[in-house]
Amino acid sequence: MNNNHNKKSTQPRIERLFQQSGEEFKSSRPKQSFSQRYFQRFELSRPNPFRTLFLEDVHENGNQEPNKTDSVSTDVISIFSRASSAMVANDLASKALTLREFTVLNSYCETLDTKTFRLRSSNGEEFDYLPGQYVSLSVTIAGQEYKRSYSLASSPSRSGIIDITVKRASNGGLVSNWLNDHLKIGDTVNLKGPYGSFSCVKQNPPKILFIAAGSGIVPVMSMLRWLTDTETNVDIVLLLSFRTQYDIIYHDELSLIAARHPNVKLFITLTKEQTEVTPQQKNLGRINQSTIAHLVPDLTERLVYLCGPDTFMEACKAYLSRLNLPKEHVFFESFTLTKPDFSSQVPRAPNSTKKTGRYQVKFAKSNQSIIADGTTTVLELAEKAGIKIEHECLSGNCGECMVKCLQGHVEMSDQAEIDDIDSKKGWLYSCCAYPVSNVVLDI
């Protein structure tokens, strides 16, 4: 693609969209990279399960105007159910554990400390996923392999590519910082997935409230892009929190989406500076109960998708509860990374339990034993005993770390998604299981 030509042809169109909406277009990011990111299209390598849902043709050349059909108002229940059926038909679960190589096509600076990496399967194979899901990424740094999970920022409606957005970690996050500093166009990375159930596709919501802070915007952006690309008539409110105007990830694209889609309302709050960041609403400081009540008067009619640091989400869940929103209307995903013990390579699950006693954990096949106190996962205990358990997501979604408990009891953390049938048979997700008695494991 000729990037200079793309810049000339697409930038006026972005500005026209704002002029038509009566809003002023102000770009706080390099215009060229934003134009590329928003309009770039790739030819399909094979039929995508979402293709029949699209209202735009997919073009290889990003400077072409979208070729839309006549104005269509798509029934939300129909489009969500068809999407779910398509994904089931493609058997995502069976593909999630397959390691696949991806090539970096491009990278974009979203903020001073956040980059988006655009990836394409090295063998041209299509990558099927639900908006809001995540992948496990493997990289080799100084001769050692590291695995970390990253939400997909892209939408399945934009076939042939996937995007991951990576924010530098101030607490020394090795992989995220390495990706920002060293990953370049033409490099390859290995991915497994998709994983996770944080997706609006499954609930058929006519009204949605997205609440996100910081990097929590990433899976939300995936869902927002899918909803607007497929032109569902879902009523969407975005309530986002960032530290400063320079920390707003996807700022230009969020503004553009809100300008061209009347069913999308955007509110951005800044916690560290006083400035106006959206035409709709001045800075509101930290999100609190009164903020939500004021901006979302029809809250009880909506499903809420919440993502951000654990403390932020716990506060928001309390606000939503006091505003009489049923807890079954709230779906959430944590973006908090808990630093593991220095001696361990396995990150601790985010809601480790308190000490509950002193228990013997026996690994039957390995003839090894170790003492546990209820604060350490089975996966960590196995590592300390020198036993390797394959793992990927570290959040109880992928199922790769499943082991069988032959005797005793474990407590599973909240995020584990093991089904009742497997649980009754003694299976557990070792990344999220904490012994609460003497146990014998079939490994």
Structure tokens at 38: 């928003």
- Measured CA to CA in angstroms, residue 424 lies from 1, 359, 400 at distances of 55, 22, 18
Q: At 424, which amino acid appears? A: K
What is the pLDDT at residue 283? Answer: 54
Same domain, 433 and 374: yes
Domain membership of residue 135 (yes or no) is no
Domain membership of residue 316 (yes or no) is yes
Residue at which a domain ends, from 334, 368, 402: 334
What is the pLDDT at residue 14? Answer: 44
How buried is 323 (Cβ within 10 angstroms: 0-12 exposed, 13-18 middle, 19+ buried)? Answer: middle
Which domain covers residue 384, as residue numbers?
A: 359-441
Domain membership of residue 393 (yes or no) is yes
Same domain, 323 and 218: yes
Same domain, 296 and 399: no
Same domain, 390 and 323: no
Same domain, 263 and 377: no
What is the pLDDT at residue 84? Answer: 47
Domain membership of residue 141 (yes or no) is no
Q: Which residues of 239-249 are buried (b: 16+ CB within 10 A; e: fewer)?
A: bbbbeebebbb
> For residue 49, is the peptide bond before it cis, meaning its omega torsion is within 30 degrees of 0?
no
What is the pLDDT at residue 400? Answer: 76
Domain membership of residue 386 (yes or no) is yes
What is the pLDDT at residue 310? Answer: 85
Residue 211: which of 117, 320, 133, 297 has the closest Cα?
320
What is the pLDDT at residue 27? Answer: 45
Query: Domain with 437 in it: what CATH number?
Result: 3.10.20.30
Same domain, 265 and 330: yes
What is the pLDDT at residue 8? Answer: 35
Same domain, 314 and 377: no
Same domain, 288 and 373: no
What's the chain's Rg over C-alpha atoms? 22
What is the pLDDT at residue 26? Answer: 47
What is the pLDDT at residue 427? Answer: 87
Query: Domain with 262 in it: what CATH number?
Result: 3.40.50.80
- Per-residue pLDDT of the chain (443 residues), as tens digits, is 334 433 333 344 444 444 444 444 444 444 434 434 444 433 333 333 333 333 333 333 333 333 333 333 334 444 444 444 444 434 455 555 688 999 999 999 999 999 999 999 999 888 999 999 999 898 888 888 888 889 999 999 888 899 999 999 876 678 899 999 999 999 999 998 888 889 998 887 899 999 999 999 999 999 999 999 988 889 999 999 999 999 999 999 999 999 999 999 999 999 887 655 554 544 567 899 999 999 999 999 999 999 998 889 999 999 999 999 999 999 988 754 333 332 333 444 444 445 567 899 999 999 999 999 888 899 989 988 889 887 766 767 667 788 999 999 998 876 566 666 677 788 888 888 899 999 999 99
Number of domains in the chain: 2
Same domain, 247 and 302: yes
Same domain, 229 and 293: yes
Same domain, 328 and 419: no
d(CA 192, CA 209): 29
Domain membership of residue 129 (yes or no) is no
Same domain, 216 and 325: yes
What is the pLDDT at residue 98? Answer: 80
What is the pLDDT at residue 76? Answer: 44
What is the pLDDT at residue 117? Answer: 97
Domain membership of residue 81 (yes or no) is no
Q: What angle do CA 226, 227, 233 make, to 5 degrees?
A: 160
Domain membership of residue 388 (yes or no) is yes
What is the pLDDT at residue 167? Answer: 94
